[in-house]
Copies of this chain bind each other. A is one copy, B any other.
């Protein structure tokens, strides 16, 4: 990549992908930035600007071919590759992730869960085995793991995260209610802070109530 693309643009790409997927399901063959903008509630200008960060995928007078653009964005997002994921923390949230078949459609395959709870170790979640946390090193050495999802209490998250980095894991999907201290490390972190999300919702409720 010659120029860095802003995170603001990246954030919007999955949404484009989602809408194009819906259009595809509805057998829509082509769409203009104007029509798409009306559906998505953004400006047509923004759509064209965003896409042109990656290349000129449209055609004057025609618009964009839905199937083509869907595939292109999928490739941009790396969904044409398989990503192996382990889930560390096999509580409800970890199990929920393991059960979410939808991810596989996008190339994300959960291969194992890890936990310290003896009641969970040895069980399976939709054919995915739950191992003891002490098996983590061995497993990571013998398998190509791309992403580790952290679904464990915040006091354990940081230690496990550092350990995973030492084991060579390159990306962490963090559900723990803490910002991992991994700035110095060469690892990609994507946070899902559910509490933060809920607090924003709460803020907006307050605003509505007192306005």
In the complex, which range does the number of interface residues on chain A fall in?
35 or more
Contacts of A91 in B (CB 8 A): 96, 99
Q: A95-B92, A188-B208, A208-B170 are in contact. Are A194 and B79 (CB under 8 A)?
A: no
Any B CB within 8 A of the CB of A78:
yes
A sample of 13 cross-chain residue pairs with beta-carbon separation below 8 angstroms, ordered by A number, consists of: A10-B204, A15-B193, A77-B199, A78-B202, A81-B206, A93-B96, A96-B96, A100-B194, A103-B198, A173-B197, A173-B198, A188-B204, A190-B201
A-to-B contact residues, CB < 8 Å: 1, 10-11, 13-15, 17-18, 41, 76-79, 81, 83, 91-93, 95-97, 99-100, 102-103, 106-108, 146-147, 170-171, 173, 177-179, 183, 186, 188, 190, 192-208, 210-211
Q: Give the oligomeric copy count.
A: 2
Q: Which chain B residue has the least Cβ–Cβ distance from A75?
A: B206
Q: Are A78 and B203 in contact (CB under 8 A)?
A: yes
Contacts of A17 in B (CB 8 A): 199
Give Cα distance in the complex from A10 to B76, angstroms.
30
